[in-house]
Structure 1
């Protein structure tokens, strides 16, 4: 077997190599900070396994196939597999994001969103690697366990050791990645995992890999906000303690679906330049009195005019497919929205309207009342159904909600922070979600009618 390069492994990566080669460990989690060397090590291991076991098949996947191509395919897979392509050992097929080896082995990039998952589940693999695994529901991961079935052998007749590998920057302690790999419990039944001896985890830190990082990168991580520093530098799981919005991955996060044509839609916008500009699309299901955040646009250092053009492009996607290419597409799309609510900057709102977005109106920016409103809408205790759901593909919004915290995490008996002050860090998508939800479910002081408390709600709901 030819390996086209030599790698200077750091101490933690050497531990990772030992773990990846352990025949007793079938399910392996690499987790920790950003750029700590974990993903590169896994991709290189897959490359070696493809060379060693002729005819073997290997899957690298992320929830979104588009995000997988922009990240792990471009940044890690292409540079690594090109080493073998230069030696004539394989051919990279960029259109479908696959690597075909002359010995019959194949490495496939896949997506796990509903539109892609069937093609992924149609094959069986010797290695399955899920990057950013926390983006996915455990049910999807469990389905993939059944696809780990490859009978390839090396030239000496030794069968391939099946490996299911995940990596991630940790989020909250309740994540299935923590419950399964650290606590040893089935994430659904919460009972002990019978084959837990086959599971292993290894924590990585950017400090382990500092010699391979750009000068100043560690300093950048050290100066992140508290929540992001904990995730991307320290690489540690966080508790729900102190979170403003109690988002439950199993309840409030749902797989993307096509929004029914009869549901009313709104857009919520938070202006920003150095801080992110955020636009969220929300839909209201009147029959069940619930709202879904289903699309996001988050970008820094663009002009409002440039954002307006992007918002038009994304809004056109709400039209039937046969109308999206018409000359009047964006005008037709604008009619779909019952409201576009924005931050209060009058000049920026005027710029949006001048460029075809709107009409727009100022959002309700009552912070504490708005937060309480959203917390109540998310409540699902005592058999209550929540009224807020977020599409799984809204990675930026979900990350913001994991970072949006009270300054003082001491909580009252009612589950509200005692000092009622929010940390102004990484809060832009969370604020935008609040704007949108307070438009759909307005903050209205209850009125009393013959002793019965009533809330009149939105005029368009």
Structure 2
């Protein structure tokens, strides 16, 4: 890397200093086009050049997004500028860059099983999670074991970046509040986690002069807070906009007895289960469970170990689950009417008939970021617990199936 080619801004220099420090986990967050991805990609290029034969991973939720926004728009252009096109080979189909010194930079996604098995079949000295607002904590922690490559003189590091989302997101809890997102207990080694804010104003010299004034300044309030000011807020178009912190209960605040229980099960690479207790027409999300890249059988076994099925109840499952539904105790097909199910839960929230136990970190980690796009379509990212919760509640209200 040469300063004649890459001229970091003052804030980017500060971020680069943090990246070269002894801190193991580093998050760069802030507004749109603030240079976060460029800084992290440059750090990886430097590490790959500095340590021959080293291996580095850049991953996002979807592999196609990683290839588009990171590989083509950032990594390859900066490789051409810094080391020259003759000094690396790009296998775009496989998402692999091989440098002249034997170092490798892999690009992939954590939302597809085939991709996961391929990229997590190697060990790395750097793992960079791009746009972690779209990646579940279970997927992140599954990848942790792959930061195991040993290269003399090289400190293994995790890099992260994102546009901020809600304060309930795991990244805010880990890097800002320094707590374990699944338990809300203090991190064992908070000194291993550091963050730096990069906003568009800090990168103004590299942007079109009207980008901030004409585009970011004119966004709706919440989008402006996120994409211009780098603040952690509920996103625009939040589906459960009226869900408030007063609806989050500690376990000892839950009813002592419930009239019945129902369950919801979402399948896929990110498996998620939600257990709901009913008192009359009021619903309480009392437990959740999730896993990344595990089988349904393993999921059920782990739930049984947590006494999940001590109560006899119906579990409404993703209708696309096929034979996997039979592996779930009390499993039946759910009513997957998305909009009707969402409207039903919104009505529960508005009537004061909806509560979530504080222990349900999967549900709470998704509920405020569950949103619609500009076309009013549900954003299909980090919605596994939301699907399972909808199955458990709406299917119970419409199916008439009762157990126990």
1:348-427 → structure 2 map (5 Å cutoff): 371-373=346-348, 379-381=355-357, 401=371
Q: 1:104 aligns with which of 102, 105, 109?
A: 102
How far the C-alpha of 1:180 sits from its partner, in A, is 0.9
The answer to whether the aligner puts 1:203 opposite 2:197 as a matched pair is yes
Any idea what SS the aligned residue of 1:76 has?
Answer: helix
Change in CA separation of 1:252 and 1:380 when aligned onto 2, cut-off 3 Å = farther
Give the structure 1 partner of residue 123 of structure 2: 124
Greater percentage in helix: 2
Any idea what SS the aligned residue of 1:88 has?
Answer: helix
Give the structure 2 partner of residue 237 of structure 1: 232
Give deviations 1:42-87, integer Å, cap 9, x for gaps: 0011111111100000000011112212222222122122335635
How far the C-alpha of 1:145 sits from its partner, in A, is 2.3
Give the structure 2 partner of residue 139 of structure 1: 138
Q: 1:215 aligns with which of 193, 209, 218?
A: 209
- Count of aligned positions: 321
Give the structure 1 partner of residue 178 of structure 2: 184
Any idea what SS the aligned residue of 1:25 has?
Answer: coil
Change in CA separation of 1:456 and 1:91 when aligned onto 2, cut-off 3 Å = closer
**2:82 & 2:379 partners in 1: Cα distance?**
47
Q: Is the 8 A contact 2:96 2:105 kept in 1?
A: yes
Q: 2:377 aligns with which of 419, 429, 436?
A: 429
Q: 1:165 aligns with which of 156, 159, 162?
A: 159
Give the structure 1 partner of residue 52 of structure 2: 54
Give deviations 1:159-217, integer Å, cap 9, x for gaps: 11211110001111111111111121122232222222122110111110111112321
Give deviations 1:95-140, integer Å, cap 9, x for gaps: 1121101211000002112512222222111111000112222222
Q: Is the 8 A contact 1:60 1:131 kept in 2?
A: yes
How far the C-alpha of 1:28 sits from its partner, in A, is 0.4
Any idea what SS the aligned residue of 2:86 has?
Answer: coil
Q: Is the 8 A contact 2:30 2:226 kept in 1?
A: yes
Q: 1:457 aligns with which of 398, 401, 404?
A: 398
Give deviations 1:405-430, integer Å, cap 9, x for gaps: xxxxxxxxxxxxxxxxxxxx958236
1:87-98 → structure 2 map (5 Å cutoff): 87-98=85-96
How far the C-alpha of 1:254 sits from its partner, in A, is 6.1
Q: Is the 8 A contact 1:400 1:426 kept in 2?
A: no
Any idea what SS the aligned residue of 1:234 has?
Answer: coil
Q: 2:74 aligns with which of 73, 76, 83?
A: 76
When Rg is computed on C-alpha atoms for both structures, the one with the higher figure is: 1
Q: 1:193 aligns with which of 179, 187, 192?
A: 187
1:273-352 → structure 2 map (5 Å cutoff): 288=314, 290=316
Please say which of residues 233-242 and 69-78 is displaced more in the overlay. Answer: 233-242
How far the C-alpha of 1:4 sits from its partner, in A, is 9.0
**1:431 & 1:102 partners in 2: Cα distance?**
40
Q: Is the 8 A contact 2:264 2:316 kept in 1?
A: no
Any idea what SS the aligned residue of 1:41 has?
Answer: helix
How far the C-alpha of 1:456 sits from its partner, in A, is 7.6
How far the C-alpha of 1:13 sits from its partner, in A, is 0.3
Any idea what SS the aligned residue of 2:23 has?
Answer: coil
- TM superposition score normalised by structure 1: 0.58
Change in CA separation of 1:9 and 1:104 when aligned onto 2, cut-off 3 Å = same
Give deviations 1:431-451, integer Å, cap 9, x for gaps: 9999xx89x959xxxxxxxxx
CA RMSD of aligned residues (A): 4.6
